[in-house]
Amino acid sequence: MQALVIDDSRAMRAILTRLMMGLGFDVVQAGDGAEALALLEGGLMPDIALVDWNMPVMDGLTFVKSCRARAYLRGITLMMVTTESEQNQIVRALAAGAHEYVIKPFTDEVIAEKLAFLGLVVAA
Amino acid sequence: MEAIDEIVAEFLVESHENLDQLDADLLALERTPRSRDLLGSVFRTIHTIKGTSGFLAFHRLEQLTHWGENLLSQLRDDKIALNDQRTNALLSMVDAVRGMLGEIERTGVEGDADHTELANLLVSLMDDGDVRQAPLIPEQATRKSSPDAVDDALKIQASGHSGEARRSVVESYVRVDVELLDTLMRMVGELVLSRNQLVSELEDQKDTALARSAQRLSLVTSELQEQVMKTRMQPVDTIWSKLPRVVRDLSRQCGRQVRLQMEGRDTELDRSVLEAIKDPLTHLVRNAIDHGIEAPEVRVAAGKAPEGTLLLRAHHEAGQVHLEIVDDGAGIDPRMIAVKALERGLASVAELERMSPREVIQLIFLPGFSTARTVTNVSGRGVGMDVVKTRIERIGGSVDVISNQGTGSTFHLTIPLTLAIIPALTIGCAGRHYAIPQVSVLELVRLSGERGRGGIELISGTPVYRLRGTLLPLVRLDQQLGLVPVDSGGGFIVVLQAEQQRFGLVVDDVVDTQEIVVKPLGRHLKSLPIYAGATILGDGSVVLILDATTVARRAEVLASTAGAASTVALDEPITIDPVLVVELAGGRRAAIPLDMVTRLEEIPQASIEKVGGREVVQYRGHIMPMVRLATLLGAYGNDGEELDKVQLVVYTRGERSVGFAVDRIIDIATERPGSRSDIDDHALLGSVVVGERVVEVLDVQAAVLAADPVFYREG
């Protein structure tokens, strides 16, 4: 299975990549919403995208909206990665079409739980 | 755990970069406090650090940035305005974060520094009320994460997962490990050496196909070298970007108002050069604020604007980078420098009196001048002006200062573009070869046979060469290196430049000019400053690279504060004439204007002949009239005692020469300006003060006529 990690922080991307790889995913990275969108439009079809909220160029919320606006991208699970100070934004994200959200810092157990809930079975 | 260390390393690198940007953003925000872009950028940086530190179990960092983030959130949402207090608090937070990052780098954990006060401040600044306590953010337990869980989560699974995360293809820049760049550079260096070797072996090659291939290889190697060197180039902004913060903090500390301007930020230098000048540059900036720019009231009283300007300028010129630190402050007072120099025993009263204001100011670069080492908060290291000079010179650069009282000072640094591959001149001396960096070489003079060797004159034991009218002090390389001289029947003078002065290095052969790869010296030779490194020539031989400045210093041909041939003051429009001081009979001295001296000879008494009441001497195949100055000027002493050698000062004009016989040649000196006074006396122009004595100046024309009455007549 494939995951798309979108975050403007290299360190954060590295952390999330390792975490997802540990769960059995192949990981592709993008530095902001626009990059991610370009990858998707270019044919990338990840099973799940971990989307950071705060990014330059195109932020997480805009990315989610753009994805949901394109029929061919609706199959991708969008998981917002947020901090608890942004909890009041969660409603907006879910309204815009995000499937799930996770509050950082989180562990692989947390992710696995959420993924299971979404119907994405992961390696033990 | 390998994996965690890598990520922590990435976190540290990224955070440091972001913090630097943050400093710049906060300072920019001071001037445009409502910029949404800047506020957004600052917010994001702190937000990112907070988020990531949570994952990496750096909870103190997480807490502090949490409060910073909250404050920034209020600012970003326009609920409060950015003022001085808030800016200072945020900058303090940045410093605290840097501190913790430093601890992490050193020890792997955040450390114990207590930031409660800062946290309280950040919280209380969130609104315009009173100081409040900063509550701790929720315990980990409720958030389902703990250090161990994170460890487990980040553990690399056994076997199976060799997959690499693919980078986005949209990036046009890549990050390359610095070590890799260094390795590349080293390998290109080896390639250049091999190329040199190949080219030298193919020199007589008749096979044109082979020669062409070799040429192609040579071209490609040069291009590769150029490009790889470019990878090492970074804009000077890399070190300049940290300065606005330094300037701001220091200005406040010293109670000054300083505006920092920078020109030529994208001027590029080699990485290692940048690293080397970082500290000296910071010191010069600090110096400009601390000692240069005056307090606002003082400035206003002097008719200047209360805000001082500190200008940094960088540009390329002739294969070097020129950096200027210009301030419009009070300038350097030569009198104060002189007083300090006297106090520290670095110069005597006599020496100081002889120096021009510009020369006096140069004294600040002497070791021991400033005993008050400034230990800064920012760099934490003590640096003095002499260290600045040494560090710059160590990399082959130079530093100079021009200062005008009341108007300001300019420190000028000249530094080489790169240290790794340089063009150099190979020379031979006493059967060995050495290399001299081309940047120091001004010109070459061939000394062949009589004319060549004869061009070298001795002035009180020091060999000099007359080069287009000026005298060039000479240094014999074999002597300096303690080698056994070899008679090469001539030799060369390599005119070198060191510390803005010229001197000539006498060598046996000049072999070639080529690009060489500078290899650092091994442990045992590193401490010899006369060698700047070593290289391997095309023929495989290893040669040492000479450092021109050290050679000159060792041979003492650079005019020091107590020097004999002092340099001409550049900011005084007074002509100082150099004179040759000679001794006549009875200890009487005379001064001959140096531009009237063609050469100095020592002739045996026996070769002097009397012809028709005059004395003449056989000189270079001609009969040269001469006159004894003692007789001419009426100096008496050593009566009847004839020395078997006579010192002759020769004056040549066109085809004719005359010789002035003296007892001893003392020295070359400069007369003290304005000290000439007229004497109504035969064959004397006047008297002049040279050093501490009064010396009579010879009327050369009269003396010439005394020797040869028809000298100036045609035919």
pLDDT tens for each residue of B514-545? 878 777 776 667 677 788 788 887 777 888 99
CB contacts, 8 Å: A84 with chain B: 138, 143
Size of interface A-B (CB pairs under 8 A): 113
Residue B680 banded pLDDT, cuts 50, 70, 90: low
B670 beta partners: B578
Q: Which element (helix H / strand E) includes B679? A: strand B677-681
Instruction: Give the model's pLDDT for residue B307.
Output: 92
Q: Does A31 touch chain B (CB under 8 A)?
A: yes
Residue B512 banded pLDDT, cuts 50, 70, 90: confident
CB contacts, 8 Å: B70 with chain A: 85
Contact criterion met (CB < 8 Å) for B48 and A8: yes
Distance from CA of A117 to the nearest CA of B (A): 17
Q: Which of B100-104, B119-123, B130-134, B218-222 has the lowest mean pLDDT?
A: B130-134
Say whether B598 sits in a helix, a strand or coil: coil
Q: What are phi and psi of B103, to 5 degrees?
A: -60, -45
Q: How far apart are CA B626 and CA B286, in angstroms?
A: 63
Distance from CA of B140 to the nearest CA of A (A): 10
Q: How far apart are CA B353 and CA B418, in angstroms?
A: 40
Contact criterion met (CB < 8 Å) for A29 and B165: yes
Q: What is the mean pLDDT of residues A42-50?
A: 90
Pick from A31, A85, A110: CB nearest B144: A110
For the cut 70, the answer to whether the pLDDT of residue B692 exceeds it is: no
Residue B300 banded pLDDT, cuts 50, 70, 90: very high
Mutation for A interface: B21, B62, B170, most A CBs within 10 A: B170
**Which is it for strands B233-235 and A77-82: parallel, antiparallel or unpaired?**
unpaired
CB contacts, 8 Å: B17 with chain A: none
pLDDT tens for each residue of B235-281? 898 889 888 888 998 898 888 999 999 999 888 888 878 888 988 89
pLDDT tens for each residue of B652-678? 887 788 898 888 888 777 765 555 665
Asked whether the beta carbons of A5 and A16 are under 8 A apart, the reply is: yes
Contact criterion met (CB < 8 Å) for B10 and A18: no
Q: What is the mean pLDDT of residues B89-118?
A: 88
Instruction: Give the model's pLDDT for residue B410.
Output: 94
For the cut 60, the answer to whether the pLDDT of residue B4 exceeds it is: no
For the cut 60, the answer to whether the pLDDT of residue A95 exceeds it is: yes
Distance linking the first and last C-alpha atoms of chain B: 99
Higher-pLDDT residue of B697 and B370 is: B697
pLDDT tens for each residue of B693-704? 777 878 888 888
Instruction: Give the model's pLDDT for residue B534.
Output: 84
Over chain A, what is the mean pLDDT? 86
Pick from B144, B154, B168: CB nearest A30: B168
Distance from CA of B249 to the nearest CA of A (A): 29
Asked whether the beta carbons of A12 and A53 are under 8 A apart, the reply is: no
Asked whether the beta carbons of B534 and B542 are under 8 A apart, the reply is: yes
Over chain B, what is the mean pLDDT? 78
Contact criterion met (CB < 8 Å) for A104 and B167: no
Mutation for A interface: B6, B16, B22, B44, most A CBs within 10 A: B44
pLDDT tens for each residue of B29-54? 888 888 888 888 898 889 889 989 98
Q: Cα separations (Å) of B96 from B39, B114, B135, B244, B528?
A: 20, 10, 19, 18, 43
Q: How far apart are CA B672 and CA B578, in angstroms?
A: 10
Q: How far apart are CA B76 and CA B435, in angstroms?
A: 61
Distance from CA of A40 to the nearest CA of B (A): 11
For A20, other C-beta atoms within 10 Å of its C-beta total 24
Q: What is the share, in percent, of chain B residues with pLDDT greater than 70?
A: 80
CA nearest to A53 within chain B: B44
Q: Who contacts B248 (Cβ-Cβ below 8 Å, separation ≥6)?
A: B27
Instruction: Give the model's pLDDT for residue B313.
Output: 94
Contact criterion met (CB < 8 Å) for B56 and A39: no
Contact criterion met (CB < 8 Å) for B154 and A15: yes
Distance from CA of A61 to the nearest CA of B (A): 15
Q: What is the pTM of this model?
A: 0.49
Residue B642 banded pLDDT, cuts 50, 70, 90: low
Q: Would you say how long chain A is, in residues? A: 124
B459 beta partners: B462
Q: What is the share, in percent, of chain A residues with pLDDT greater than 90?
A: 32
One-letter amino acid of B442: L
CB contacts, 8 Å: B170 with chain A: 30-31, 35, 38-39
CB contacts, 8 Å: A12 with chain B: 48, 51-52, 55
Pick from B14, B55, B165: CB nearest A104: B55
Contact criterion met (CB < 8 Å) for A107 and B149: yes
Contact criterion met (CB < 8 Å) for A9 and B51: yes
Residue A78 banded pLDDT, cuts 50, 70, 90: very high
Radius of gyration (Cα) for chain A, nearest Å? 13
Distance linking the first and last C-alpha atoms of chain A: 13
CB contacts, 8 Å: A112 with chain B: none
One-letter amino acid of B259: R
Q: How far apart are CA B109 and CA A27, in angstroms?
A: 29
CA nearest to A55 within chain B: B44
Q: What is the mean pLDDT of residues B161-175?
A: 46
Contact criterion met (CB < 8 Å) for B7 and A27: no
Q: What is the mean pLDDT of residues B406-427?
A: 84
Closest to B243 measured CA to CA, from B176, B311, B301: B311
One-letter amino acid of A90: I
Higher-pLDDT residue of B304 and B202 is: B304
Distance from CA of B545 to the nearest CA of A (A): 44
Instruction: Give the model's pLDDT for residue B675.
Output: 58
Q: Does A12 touch chain B (CB under 8 A)?
A: yes
Q: What are phi and psi of B28, to 5 degrees?
A: -65, -35
Q: Does B438 touch chain A (CB under 8 A)?
A: no
Sheet containing B462-467: order of strands: B441-446, B492-498, B501-507, B470-476, B462-467, B456-459
B457 beta partners: B464
Q: With 0-12 CB in 10 A as exposed, 13-18 as middle and 19+ as buried, what is B299?
A: buried
CA nearest to B149 within chain A: A107
Max CA distance (Å), chain A = 37
pLDDT tens for each residue of B538-589? 777 888 999 887 888 788 766 543 233 333 323 333 445 678 888 887 778 8
Mutation for A interface: B5, B7, B69, most A CBs within 10 A: B7
Q: How many CA atoms lie within 13 A of A20 on its CB side?
A: 28
Within 75-94 of A, beta carbons closer than 8 Å to B belong to 83-85
Q: How far apart are CA A114 and CA A119, in angstroms?
A: 9
